[in-house]
């Protein structure tokens, strides 16, 4: 049963990662690409969490926290960048 759950989650995460990579490659806008890269980081974090749960270890916990922080900071930074660009466009 454990192997079946691992196989199903691996297939689902792999399909989601392929979809995110396709969106990064052909996304029509920069916002789509940034959002897809954030989703890809979340998928990688989920894969690390599943690995830790299945093998009952905490070896990747620091990496998981670092990925979460990088994803959060990157999203907030890009949102501020977009907001600043919109504010500059309204001043003219």
- Averaged pLDDT of the chain: 92
Alpha helix stretches (DSSP H) within 1-92: 2-26, 30-55, 61-91
CA atoms of 24 and 45, how far apart (whole Å): 18
The pLDDT value recorded for residue 91 is 62
Determine the structural domain holding residue 53 and report its residue range.
2-91
Q: What percent of the chain has pLDDT over 70?
A: 98
Tokens 């979340």 sit on residue: 42
Task: Please state the domain count of the chain.
Answer: 1
Would you say the pTM of this structure is higher than 0.75?
A: yes
Residue 84 pLDDT level (bands cut at 50, 70, 90): confident
Q: Is the pLDDT of residue 14 over 70?
A: yes
Alpha carbon distances (Å) from 89 to 31, 49, 50, 78, 81: 17, 42, 44, 17, 13
């Amino acid at each position: 049963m454990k192997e079946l759950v691992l196989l199903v989650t691996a297939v689902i995460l792999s399909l989601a990662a392929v979809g995110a990579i396709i969106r990064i490659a052909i996304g029509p806008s920069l916002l789509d690409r940034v959002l897809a890269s954030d989703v890809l980081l979340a998928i990688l974090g989920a894969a690390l969490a599943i690995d830790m749960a299945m093998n009952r270890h905490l070896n990747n916990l620091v990496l998981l926290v670092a990925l979460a922080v990088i994803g959060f900071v990157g999203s907030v930074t890009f949102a501020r960048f977009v907001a600043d660009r919109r504010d500059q466009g309204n001043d003219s």
